[in-house]
Amino acid sequence: MNSILTNSSPIYGDEVLKIFVSVLCGSILGFEREIRGKSAGFRTLALICFGSTIFTICSYVLGVDANRDRVAANIITGVGFLGAGVIFRNNISVSGITTAASIWISAAIGMLVGIGAYELAGISMVLALFILYAMDYIQFWIDYRFQHRDYKVVLNLVESSLFLTGQLGNLKLKCTNIKVLRSGGQLTWYAQISGRGDRLEVFNNWLLNQEAVSSFEW
């Protein structure tokens, strides 16, 4: 086997080192996902990165000089199936997209290690960790400052719907996509409200204290 690697791919080498480096890179990425309790964690990302490196090595060992990417190109297809398996939809929300992207980048790093681009693999891993860990706080701040909620408010009095928009104006909340339906003596008010999280909570508490509000949900 060593003679095959040496004769068919003289510009590559250190295959054993590549395997261990890929396991290390995948484990580091997987550790971040594991401590957050995600479905694709420590072992999963380590295996994906490790497997991508092996397939990349097989690609240039089995292929000719003009067609070294024939196996490696299919890694992307296989990773796509794995990523789709961790994406779930719950009503109007979708979860698992970041974990699927982690699988994708783990495979990409494994391919970089497989061709011996250690420097690019290292830089990519550092940037991936920065995006997954450090930028999580930035995303939390953005989500807090610019929340979007779909409200359904059931009112007992038909003529009492205008006081909702007035309160939203007082709290400096933006209201769009308003739809009002009347059924008997009740009015159902639908709207998308956006703004700061603390102001939305104040609006919720205000709704709870209004006698005209029969029920609401978001």
Domain boundary among 144, 165, 180: 144
Q: Which two tokens stand for residue 173?
A: 């909340």
Average pLDDT, the chain: 80
Task: Provide the pLDDT for residue 14.
Answer: 82
- What's the pTM? 0.65
* Shared-domain flag, residues 93 and 194: no
Q: What is the phi/psi pair of residue 38, to 5°?
A: -85, 160
* Shared-domain flag, residues 114 and 158: no
* Shared-domain flag, residues 7 and 87: yes
Judge whether 186 and 214 are in contact, CB under 8 Å: yes
Q: Is 178 left (phi over 0), alpha (psi -120 to 50) or beta?
A: beta
Q: How far is CA 156 from CA 164, 165, 176, 189, 209, in A?
A: 13, 16, 22, 11, 14
Task: Provide the pLDDT for residue 91.
Answer: 57
* Shared-domain flag, residues 121 and 157: no
Identify residue 19 by its one-letter amino acid code: I
Series of mean pLDDT values for 10-residue runs along the chain (218 residues): 45 77 91 77 88 86 66 77 75 72 90 90 91 79 79 77 79 83 83 86 88 84
* Shared-domain flag, residues 129 and 155: no
Task: Provide the pLDDT for residue 217.
Answer: 86
Concatenated DSSP letters of 155-215: ESSGGGTHHHHHHHHHTT-EEEEEEEEEETTEEEEEEEEEE-HHHHHHHHHHHHT-TTEEE
* Counted domains in the chain: 2
Task: Provide the pLDDT for residue 180.
Answer: 84
Task: Provide the pLDDT for residue 208.
Answer: 87
Structural domain harbouring 151: 147-217
Q: Is 127 left (phi over 0), alpha (psi -120 to 50) or beta?
A: alpha
Task: Provide the pLDDT for residue 35.
Answer: 80
Place of tokens 């709207």: 191
Task: Provide the pLDDT for residue 8.
Answer: 45
Task: Provide the pLDDT for residue 2.
Answer: 45
